[in-house]
Amino acid sequence: MAQGEDSGFGGTRVAVVIAAKDEAERVGRTVTAARALPGVDLVVVVDDGSGDRTARIASEAGARVVRHGRNRGKGRAMETGAAEVRIAEEHEVRDGAPPRHLLFLDADLEATAAGAAPLMEPVAEGKADMSVALFPATRMRLGGHGFVVRLSREGVRRATGWEPEQPLSGQRCITRAAFEAAVPLASGFGVETGLTIDVLRAGFRVIEVEVPLEHRATGTDLRAQLHRAHQFVDVARALAVRKLPPPVRRGLERGRRGAVPAAREEA
């Protein structure tokens, strides 16, 4: 479907936001695939302090590009991307059209980003306020294990009563109202954990959706281990900041009702 055509979601529009750092080899194909998604008429790439040609390649692929002069972390990049979508809308003639939903994708998905449509459907159809991607390959290979995943999963469960399968998944579609309720986002790699907790605590509905996406594996070398250690620290920090009294019973029950995982068949 060409960009700008009827989405099949009742005319709902979606803006894709991609945070990228040193992804020149992959971001172009990711942008191209994202622009072809139904309902997507805007792709914003936030170059978070890259030292390569990420910004140029993303722009050549058709993205609206914003650059951070230095690396500010994924959470700040996501906020910058959402703000850029809002700026774009302020310069459009929208005739009362609602703000676009936001679809956050990683820069290294490449051509598999074309499989993100099922992630958008429940949000566009009003069945959820945020959908989180379940990667089939990860489910088969890891079964959701890993010390950082366990820390995040247990933290979300203790904070909201809901236990996600893949709490660190960065591929998410979210309404603007739900996103704004979670701003400011948690810093660094704690952003997904904090976002889930804050959205649920605000009474919004969250589901998990299986989608045929793939990104490069983290690996097991020293660099990968340092990456996981950094993740652990950021997730622990996000959880520590959110050690608040439990929500009132009514709010917690709303979060639980809306947070039933909904696996879908691959497209």
How many Cβ atoms from other residues are within 10 Å of residue 2's Cβ?
Answer: 8
Q: Are 172 and 129 in contact (CB under 8 A)?
A: no
The DSSP bridge pattern shows strands 64-68 and 40-48 to be parallel
For the chain, the average pLDDT equals 84
pLDDT at residue 111 is higher than 80: yes
- Written as six digits, the tokens of 147 are 């010390």
Domains, the chain, with CATH or none: 14-258 (3.90.550.10)
| 138-197 tens-digit pLDDT | 544 443 348 899 999 999 999 999 999 999 999 999 999 999 999 999 988 999 999 999
Quick check: helix, strand or coil at residue 74?
helix
How large is the average pLDDT for residues 86-91? 93
Q: Which long-range contacts (CB under 8 A, 24 or more apart) does 59-64 make?
A: 60/28, 61/27, 61/28, 61/29, 61/31, 61/32, 61/35, 62/31, 62/32, 62/35, 63/18, 63/31, 63/35, 64/88
pLDDT at 123 over 70: yes
pLDDT at residue 135, rounded to an integer: 85
For residue 141, the model assigns a pLDDT of 44
pLDDT at 138: 56
Calculate helix-pair angle for 191-201, 74-90, nearest 10 degrees: 60
Could you tell me which residues are beta bridge partners of residue 46? 19, 66
- Whether 250 has a pLDDT exceeding 60, the answer reads no
Lowest mean pLDDT: which of 29-43, 105-119, 216-230?
216-230
